[in-house]
Amino acid sequence: MENINVHKTAIIHAGAKLSPGVSVGPYSVIESNVTLGDNVLIGTHCVITGKTTIGRNCKIYSGAVVGSAPQDKKHSTDDNVFLNIGENNTIREYVTINPGTVDGGSKTVIGNDNLFMAYSHIAHDCIIGNHCVMANAATLGGHVTLEDNTMIGGLSAVHQFVRLGRLCIVGGCSKVVQDVPPFSMCDGHPASVTSVNSVGLKRARVSSETSRLLKKAFKILFRSGLARKHALEIIARELNSCPELEHLIFFFKTSERGVCG
């Protein structure tokens, strides 16, 4: 195998597809339905299993288990389910990631340039965008969606079917049981919105005018005492439209679990 570095103690099952530049460390196991893209680095004592595809330049550290069966009582070993991981992701020590379930669409999908710190867990049927961060021991229940640039603090738990909006940040040790709006800071047990994520907006190079509009929108949504439907109508009518504001309104209108207060 050209330009592939596999330690003599690693086990590579027949049928596994390893691209050029792949490195597999001591005592790791790569099972037969796995595809590893260019330059994927697998550390020591890792298990990559299931119908799992990992994009190029991903790094997987010691003890990670990627693609193991969903922790769902309805799952059968005969189910045709998948885990698709994009490019340039960093998966730290002892992270666990499960594929989808038949009832949930059959796929867990992870985008590009994400960081999953040690002991974090991604359950079945999750959809994760790009540039997200899950700190140590953060946990996603099944069917969770993370939009781009989401950050989750350590030891936080996200309930099944919850959505976390773009550029939101969840404080450490939080219990997230409802959707977290885009561009927000959220914290608590259960988690609630504390403010606009001003630092995140600045780092994302969102204009000062857009940040000002978002702060006004958050004040109407969370400080006015108005019902959410009425607050959204005022925002749409009285604030100048911009893509970020339109996304915020769309997020609220499409929430199925409700948005945290």
User: What would the 3-class secondary structure string for the chain be?
Assistant: CCCCEECCCCEECCCCEECCCCEECCCCEECCCCEECCCCEECCCCEECCEEEECCCCEECCCCEECCCCCCCCCCCCCCCEEEECCCCEECCCCEECCCCCCCCCEEEECCCCEECCCCEECCCCEECCCCEECCCCEECCCCEECCCCEECCCCEECCCCEECCCCEECCCCEECCEECCCEEEEECCEEEEEECHHHHHHCCCCHHHHHHHHHHHHHHHHCCCCHHHHHHHHHHHCCCCHHHHHHHHHHHCCCCCECC
Domain extents in the chain: 5-146, 202-253
Q: Quick one: 5-146 is in which CATH superfamily?
A: Hexapeptide repeat proteins (2.160.10.10)
The structure's pTM equals 0.96
Shortest CA distance to 165 belongs to which of 191, 146, 140?
146
Task: Give the per-residue pLDDT at 98.
Answer: 98
**What are the two backbone dihedrals, phi and then psi, of residue 197, each rounded to the nearest 5 degrees?**
-80, 75
Task: Count the neighbouring beta carbons within 10 Å of the beta carbon of residue 61.
Answer: 21
Instruction: Please state the rounded mean pLDDT for residues 180-209.
Output: 97
Instruction: Please state the rounded mean pLDDT for residues 180-199.
Output: 97
More confident residue, 261 or 139: 139
Dump pLDDT digits (tens) for 53-78.
Answer: 999 999 999 999 999 999 999 999 89
Contact of 99 with 70, CB cutoff 8 Å: yes
Task: Give the per-residue pLDDT at 172.
Answer: 98
Architecture category of domain 202-253 in CATH: Up-down Bundle (1.20)
pLDDT tops 60 at residue 150 = yes
Task: Give the per-residue pLDDT at 1.
Answer: 53
pLDDT tops 90 at residue 247 = yes
| Average per-residue pLDDT for the chain | 97
Task: Give the per-residue pLDDT at 261.
Answer: 87
pLDDT tops 90 at residue 2 = no
What type of residue is 117?
Answer: M
Give the residue numbers marked as catalytic.
124-125, 142
Task: Give the per-residue pLDDT at 153.
Answer: 98
Percentage of the chain modeled with pLDDT above 90: 98
